[in-house]
């Protein structure tokens, strides 16, 4: 048999896999390509990979035989059963110390399980978030690897070389153990949902309350993209808004207003509930997509349910545009602060040693949420790696203080004019809640104790739970303490 010569194998020749292979090839690695439907291997070698050093295999056995040791096998296949099926087939072909990497959008709990199961067999499993879509995979994605740390020294070079760079630094570093990489990728996707919803609300307000034309809206976003909001999503929205169909109409207005979702935003919201973290903006963004998809119901309701007499903003347009910009910026700060709160809580539950500045850097380039703003987050964590909340960093508290009057104006205007701003509003409600020394939860505690004898703590005696016989009729026995 010929001397094994491939540095890494890649299973899954769909859009992500093919582009990542070509990216690895550009950086001098020899990649062995494999796909369940093996005809795709021939097609790939004859077309996209023609003239490269990429080699192919028609079976997993052949693929493994072509790999240098320790063998590195990366999968970019549909998340779920396909990943488990491939692992099952690979295990008997590999040797102790070999590495399996899953670059798909897998659930972090699945990754945790796979890391543990494979570790028992001496194999190192890595679950890596990959972001940036087709373009990112080809020319530099954001990579978020986590799992068995013994794998990292063997994949670090490849990963950091093929990843995007921000100011010369790779947008890829070791995230943490178990499912940490996929957890961070999940939060990234949740934040992406939030960023998109915020931009959607700004567009809704500009279109329906200010009646701006598409060229005007595109120009506004172009201006925003030169400042604090400079980001990939603002940039593409600028281009989408002015995109005209062949007949000269604006394409965006021909698209059915019913948003799809593949699940990672929902997983983030579920994780937020699971860990008791108020990640309200991502949650609201997922619900906003759910509401949008009730298209037929909304069409019916629009004929019955009335709103205010006008949705038109009567004040100064230019001023209101600036208010919207500031509302968007402040809400975005809240969203990222909430996302980092969720990661911090998961890290504490799973004992992951997450490097928050490093995560901001991984998202700084290559991925969908890439932005100037992530550089500010990185700087905040560099200044204080133990920062408990992004909002307490001076750069961000100053930014919020500077934006809050505008933010309140926009949320109030949306409510008055009947244009929904769920993400702007929930962000503001969170901000006002988070900065409140006292919330009305004392009353909730009293109600719980009144009807269910659930007990409460007095401010003067924290940690001591007491029950009051509020009516004089009930007994003095309290319910057992539990966390719901
Ligand atoms: P897809 O998610 O469409 O997956 C296609 C690949 O999965 C093909 O190689 C296909 O093989 C294989 N596959 C399927 Br489908 N079911 C299989 C099964 N039961 N057993 C074995 N193989 C199976 O491709 P993609 O869009 O390139 O995404 C790959 C992964 O990367 C996914 O997990 C995705 O969520 C994630 N991701 C995608 C993007 C993006 O922008 N598209 C971005 C970031 C992450 P076949 O050719 O034989 O059908």
How far is the CA of 67 from the CAs of 29, 115, 133, 162, 250, in angstroms?
12, 22, 27, 19, 51
Task: Give residue 4's pLDDT.
Answer: 72
What's the maximum distance between 2 C-alpha atoms anywhere in the chain?
88
Look up residue 326 and give its two tokens: 């500031």
* Atom number, ligand 1, closest to the C-alpha of residue 15: 27
Look up residue 269 and give its two tokens: 């919201």
Enumerate residues lining ligand 1, CB below 6 A. 12-17, 35-37, 40, 76-79, 81-82, 85, 104-105, 130-131, 133
Distance from residue 272's CA to the centre of ligand 1 (Å): 27
Name which residue sits closest to atom 6 of ligand 1, judged by CA: 77
Distance from residue 12's CA to the centre of ligand 1 (Å): 6
Q: Which of 228, 409, 392, 244 is nearest to 324 (CA)?
A: 409
Probe target for ligand 1 pocket from 34, 36, 59, 83, with the most ligand atoms within 8 Å of CB: 36
Distance from residue 3's CA to the centre of ligand 1 (Å): 30
Catalytic residue among 66, 107, 112, 192: 192
- How far apart are alpha carbons 350 and 251 in whole angstroms? 46
DSSP state of 459: T
Name which residue sits closest to atom 43 of ligand 1, judged by CA: 133
Q: Tokens 């890290």 identify what position? A: 347
31-34 and 55-56 beta bridge pairing: parallel
SS (H, E, C) 165-198: EECCEECECCCEECCHHHHHHHHHHHHHHHHHHH
Distance from residue 36's CA to the centre of ligand 1 (Å): 11
Active site residue 3: no
- How far apart are alpha carbons 353 and 346 in whole angstroms? 10
Probe target for ligand 1 pocket from 11, 77, 261, 369, with the most ligand atoms within 8 Å of CB: 77
Q: Tokens 């995979």 identify what position? A: 137
Look up residue 268 and give its two tokens: 């983030």
Probe target for ligand 1 pocket from 13, 78, 192, with the most ligand atoms within 8 Å of CB: 78
Q: Which of 191, 187, 106 is nearest to 147 (CA)?
A: 106
Probe target for ligand 1 pocket from 11, 14, 366, with the most ligand atoms within 8 Å of CB: 14
* Atom number, ligand 1, closest to the C-alpha of residue 17: 27
Q: Could you read off the pLDDT tens digit of each residue along the chain, which spans 484 residues? A: 567 799 999 999 999 999 999 999 999 999 999 999 999 999 999 999 999 999 999 999 999 999 999 999 999 999 999 999 999 999 999 999 999 999 999 999 999 999 999 999 999 999 999 999 999 999 999 999 999 999 999 999 999 999 999 989 999 999 999 999 999 999 999 999 999 999 999 999 999 999 999 999 999 999 999 999 999 999 999 999 999 999 999 999 999 999 999 889 999 999 999 999 999 999 999 999 999 999 999 999 999 999 999 999 999 999 999 999 999 999 999 999 999 999 999 999 999 999 999 999 999 999 999 999 999 999 999 999 999 999 999 999 999 999 999 999 999 999 999 999 999 999 999 999 999 999 999 999 999 999 999 999 999 999 999 999 999 887 778 876 555 5
51 conformational bin, left if phi > 0, alpha if psi -120 to 50, beta if neither: left
Name which residue sits closest to atom 23 of ligand 1, judged by CA: 82
Distance from residue 149's CA to the centre of ligand 1 (Å): 25
* Atom number, ligand 1, closest to the C-alpha of residue 79: 33
Name which residue sits closest to atom 19 of ligand 1, judged by CA: 82
Asked whether the beta carbons of 63 and 34 are under 8 A apart, the reply is yes
Active site residue 192: yes
Catalytic residue among 66, 112, 185, 326: 185
Task: Give residue 483's pLDDT.
Answer: 53
Q: Which of 429, 388, 381 is nearest to 407 (CA)?
A: 429
Residue 257 CB contacts under 8 Å (≥ 6 apart), including other chains: 292, 295
Distance from residue 221's CA to the centre of ligand 1 (Å): 33
Distance from residue 363's CA to the centre of ligand 1 (Å): 22
Global pTM reads: 0.95
Name which residue sits closest to atom 44 of ligand 1, judged by CA: 131
- How far apart are alpha carbons 196 and 8 in whole angstroms? 35
Residue 396 CB contacts under 8 Å (≥ 6 apart), including other chains: 333, 337, 376, 380, 390
Task: Give residue 481's pLDDT.
Answer: 57
């Amino acid at each position: 048999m010929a001397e094994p010569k491939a540095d890494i194998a890649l299973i899954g020749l769909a859009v992500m896999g093919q582009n990542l292979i070509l990216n690895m090839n550009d950086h001098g690695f020899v990649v062995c390509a494999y796909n369940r439907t093996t005809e795709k291997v021939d097609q790939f070698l004859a077309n996209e990979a023609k003239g490269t050093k990429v080699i192919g295999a028609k079976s997993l056995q052949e693929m493994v035989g072509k790999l240098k040791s320790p063998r590195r096998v990366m999968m970019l296949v549909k998340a779920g059963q396909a990943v488990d099926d491939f692992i099952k087939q690979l295990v008997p072909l590999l040797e102790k110390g070999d590495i399996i990497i899953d670059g798909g959008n897998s659930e972090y709990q699945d990754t945790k399980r796979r890391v543990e199961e494979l570790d028992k067999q001496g194999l190192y499993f890595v679950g890596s978030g990959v972001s940036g879509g087709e373009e990112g995979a080809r020319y530099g994605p954001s990579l978020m690897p986590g799992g068995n740390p013994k794998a990292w020294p063997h994949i670090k070079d490849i990963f950091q070389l093929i990843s995007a760079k921000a100011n010369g630094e790779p947008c890829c570093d070791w995230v943490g153990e178990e499912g940490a990489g996929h957890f961070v990728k999940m939060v990234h996707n949740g934040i992406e949902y939030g960023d998109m919803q915020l931009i959607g609300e700004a567009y809704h307000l500009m279109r329906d309350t200010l009646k701006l034309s598409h060229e005007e809206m595109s120009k506004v976003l172009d201006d925003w993209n030169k400042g604090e909001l400079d980001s990939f999503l603002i940039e593409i929205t600028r281009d989408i808004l002015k995109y005209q169909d062949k007949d000269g109409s604006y394409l965006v207005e021909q698209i059915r207003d019913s948003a799809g979702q593949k699940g990672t935003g929902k997983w983030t919201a579920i994780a937020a509930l699971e860990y008791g973290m108020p990640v309200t903006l991502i949650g609201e963004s997922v619900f906003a997509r759910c509401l949008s998809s009730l298209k037929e119901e909304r069409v019916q309701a629009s004929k019955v349910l009335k709103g205010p007499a006008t949705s038109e903003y009567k004040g100064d347009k230019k001023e209101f545009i600036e208010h919207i910009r500031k509302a968007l910026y402040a809400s975005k700060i809240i969203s990222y602060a909430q996302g980092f709160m969720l990661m911090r809580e998961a890290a504490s539950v799973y004992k992951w040693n997450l490097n928050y500045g490093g995560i901001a850097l991984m998202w700084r380039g290559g991925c969908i949420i890439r932005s100037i703003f992530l550089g500010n987050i990185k700087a905040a964590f560099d200044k204080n790696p133990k920062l408990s909340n992004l909002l307490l960093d001076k750069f961000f508290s100053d930014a919020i203080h500077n934006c809050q009057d505008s933010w309140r104006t926009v949320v109030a205007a949306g409510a008055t004019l009947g244009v929904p701003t769920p993400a702007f509003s929930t962000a503001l409600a969170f901000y006002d809640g988070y900065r409140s020394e006292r919330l009305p939860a004392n009353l909730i505690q009293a109600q719980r104790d009144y009807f269910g004898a659930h007990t409460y703590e007095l401010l003067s005696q924290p940690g001591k739970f007491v029950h009051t016989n509020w009516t004089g009729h009930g007994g003095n026995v309290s319910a057992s303490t539990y966390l719901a």
